A and B are shown apart, each in its own frame.
Chain A
């Protein structure tokens, strides 16, 4: 069964600290993995995308990693800011020729001053 599981479910950190969010997937055959940021009451916005051959991708203070062998990805946030408070969603697409994209439930990050 195609699944995307994220951990932790929620996380509270102090402003300026780093954090790492995890994503495990069983989607097959793998096409790509994206991390989205979703502010409360808004639509998700793409942060990074990685294909099978990529194992690291950065976007400012956000760095995503991918281990296609273990089917794991992580999103590392450096020097967190209050504006990083949001849900972070891991999304995995399968290469089936048709549309098959699975969304994780997200990690809710709270950054405190």
Chain B
């Protein structure tokens, strides 16, 4: 059963704590992405990776970090430096990272920081 999975679906953290969101895909895709979605706004790109061991900052990378040690995994860490971390986080993957291929999205993780 191919697809992209994110866990957990809901996550609660206290302010000042780092938290890591999981994203796994078994589609054999080279490219993976992390987006943040806030009410009434379009998806905003946090980080993307076009290939293993390489990743690039997106439009809103401050306060976030990623790693891409394996092709199938692209975890996102929300650090205490992120000023407003409460949001819906979406992970996606595509065959390659040029924009020519469809992005497949995971079910998302809703993070609440209090």
Nearest opposing residue in chain B for A87, CB measure: B37
For B98, the chain A residues whose CB sits under 8 A away are 97-99
Q: How far, in Å, is A5 (CB) from chain B's closest CB? A: 10
Of the A-B pairs whose beta carbons lie under 8 Å apart in the complex, a sample of 5, sorted by A's number, is: A9-B40, A41-B110, A43-B108, A45-B105, A103-B43
- Interface residue B25 (Cβ < 8 Å from any Cβ of A): no
For A98, the chain B residues whose CB sits under 8 A away are 97-98
- Report yes or no: B43 in contact with A42, Cβ–Cβ below 8 A: no
Nearest opposing residue in chain B for A93, CB measure: B99
- Report yes or no: A106 in contact with B108, Cβ–Cβ below 8 A: no
Task: Report, as a range, how many residues of chain A touch the other chain.
Answer: 20 to 34
Interface residues of A (CB under 8 A from B): 4, 9, 31-32, 34, 41-46, 49, 89, 93-106
Once the chains are docked, how many angstroms separate the CA of A103 from the CA of B43? 6
The 8 A-B pairs with the shortest beta carbon distances in the complex, nearest first, are: A43-B105, A93-B99, A103-B42, A103-B43, A105-B42, A99-B97, A101-B99, A46-B102
Once the chains are docked, how many angstroms separate the CA of A9 from the CA of B42? 12
Q: How many residues of B contact A (CB 8 A)?
A: 27
Nearest opposing residue in chain B for A95, CB measure: B99
Once the chains are docked, how many angstroms separate the CA of A46 from the CA of B102? 8
Known contacts A41-B108, A42-B107, A99-B48, A106 near B99 by CB under 8 Å: no
Once the chains are docked, how many angstroms separate the CA of A28 from the CA of B41? 21
- Report yes or no: B99 in contact with A99, Cβ–Cβ below 8 A: yes
Nearest opposing residue in chain B for A99, CB measure: B97
For A43, the chain B residues whose CB sits under 8 A away are 4, 90, 92, 105-108
Known contacts A41-B110, A43-B90, A43-B107, A100 near B40 by CB under 8 Å: no
Contact mask for chain B residues 8-46; partner A; CB cutoff 8 A; 1 contact, 0 none: 000000000000000000000001000100001111110
